[in-house]
A and B are shown apart, each in its own frame.
Chain A
Amino acid sequence: MEYIDLHAHMVSRTTDDYRAMAMTGCVAVTEPAFWAGYDRPGVDAFRDYFSRLTDFEPKRAATYGVAHFTWMCLNPKEAEDREMTRRVLEIIPEFLEKPNVLGIGEIGLNRVTRNELAGFNDHVDLAMEHDQLIHIHTPHLEDKWKGTKVIVETLADDPRITPHRVMVDHAEEHTVDMILDNGFWTGLTLYPITKVTPGRAIDVIEIRGPERICVAAACDWGESRPTAVPEFIMEMRRRGHPDSLIRKVVYENPLEFLSQSPKFHVPDREGVVAV
């Protein structure tokens, strides 16, 4: 079954992973900017990273017929440094013009500090100024509930925000209601340990229904599975769900959200992918 993985940190993955994803039905990935596992030493490191996301990665993905799109930001793990945040925000607009950039992301919160929230609001302002979609990272583990609550309340109080143009990602059972009930899109991240398993993601979809819910591998430099979405597809079938419902979650829903950017498209299967 064809699928769109709207959260995959492919700079951390091998070309073999692109190949495995393509062979299991992946037609497009979107790659939010994120933390490298260490703090970048300066704005030039961000420029180099953004250049890779907008030049090398789409070419590497195209080798296997996968369309590659990306999102720009300084991620919340590095947002405690306000000066660095300001300097990175200055260079982002030039990348927003690139043909594979869909919006601002993955912004959000990590430990839910004052500076992280200030950086989050700076990025929201930038998205509004440039009429961009927003992709949001919610915190990990014990910080997820409070971080999601602060993010949702901040955006709900902002009259400039159109919830349908915002993806609040990494939802789990205790945060999905507050995200969907406020009109946002959400994502369930299929991780082996720290987020949700395919089985628990299916529980959420059975209870809430499939509207405005996507699933993604969010594969990165940590333990994660680039083919988590096809594993989810297999588990959905095992749980007795029809392919029409599965396709809605893994293809039609991300297509609907991402197509709010005029740049997004899936590959033309009659020819070569060109981003």
Chain B
Amino acid sequence: MGAHTGTSPLTQRELIDEYFMEERVKVIDLAAFLDRLDRARELDAENDFRLRSIRDALAVLAGDEGGRVQRVQMIFSDPRSELLEELDQKGAKGAYDPEA
């Protein structure tokens, strides 16, 4: 899916008027989470793969290029197609760890 200009029935002004407050709090929540990590009792996960994926995703959000949601989804995704030989864990973790 690309930019697809004009597929939203609402104008930019209408979208901002309707949704700004809901999106504003998501950005503030994320800022607070990153600050909370800085204040942690022990700085023991600065290079955690999940935190790296969030930082990479934020770089995508800061850019002007469209297709952000697909690119962010792929940052969090395992890009390989090979089958695992056997089950290693039951559940997913939310981000791909290339060093696992």
**How many Å lie between the Cα of A115 and that of B88 in the bound state?**
12
Is A140 in contact with B8, judged by CB distance below 8 angstroms?
no
Is B1 in contact with A140, judged by CB distance below 8 angstroms?
no
What are the residues of chain B within 8 A of A203 when measuring CB–CB?
Answer: 69
A47 contacts the other chain (Cβ, under 8 Å)?
no
Within 8 A of B (CB), among A132-150: 139-146, 149-150
Which of the segments B36-44, B54-62, B76-84 contacts the partner chain? B76-84
**Nearest Cβ distance between residue B68 and chain A, in whole angstroms?**
10
Q: How many residues of A contact B (CB 8 A)?
A: 36
Is A113 in contact with B83, judged by CB distance below 8 angstroms?
yes
B99 contacts the other chain (Cβ, under 8 Å)?
no
What are the residues of chain A within 8 A of B78 when measuring CB–CB?
Answer: 142-143, 145-146
Within 8 A of B (CB), among A90-121: 110-117
Is A139 in contact with B92, judged by CB distance below 8 angstroms?
yes
**Nearest Cβ distance between residue A207 and chain B, in whole angstroms?**
5
Q: Main SS of chain A's interface residues? A: helix
Is A114 in contact with B86, judged by CB distance below 8 angstroms?
yes
B28 contacts the other chain (Cβ, under 8 Å)?
no
What are the residues of chain A within 8 A of B77 when measuring CB–CB?
Answer: 142, 144-146, 174
Known: A80-B86, A239-B9. Is A177-B1 also a contact (CB below 8 A)?
Answer: yes
Is A174 in contact with B70, judged by CB distance below 8 angstroms?
yes
A241 contacts the other chain (Cβ, under 8 Å)?
yes
Is B83 in contact with A145, judged by CB distance below 8 angstroms?
no
**How many Å lie between the Cα of A240 and that of B19 in the bound state?**
13
A176 contacts the other chain (Cβ, under 8 Å)?
yes
For A140, the closest partner residue in chain B by CB is: B92
A200 contacts the other chain (Cβ, under 8 Å)?
yes
What are the residues of chain B within 8 A of A143 when measuring CB–CB?
Answer: 78, 92
A9 contacts the other chain (Cβ, under 8 Å)?
no
Contact of B84 among A113, A200, A206, A240 (CB under 8 A): A113
* Interface CB pairs A-B, < 8 A, 7: A140-B92, A142-B94, A177-B1, A200-B69, A206-B4, A207-B7, A240-B14
Query: Which residues of chain A have a CB within 8 Å of any CB of chain B?
Result: 77, 80, 110-117, 139-146, 149-150, 172-174, 176-177, 194, 200, 203-204, 206-208, 238-241
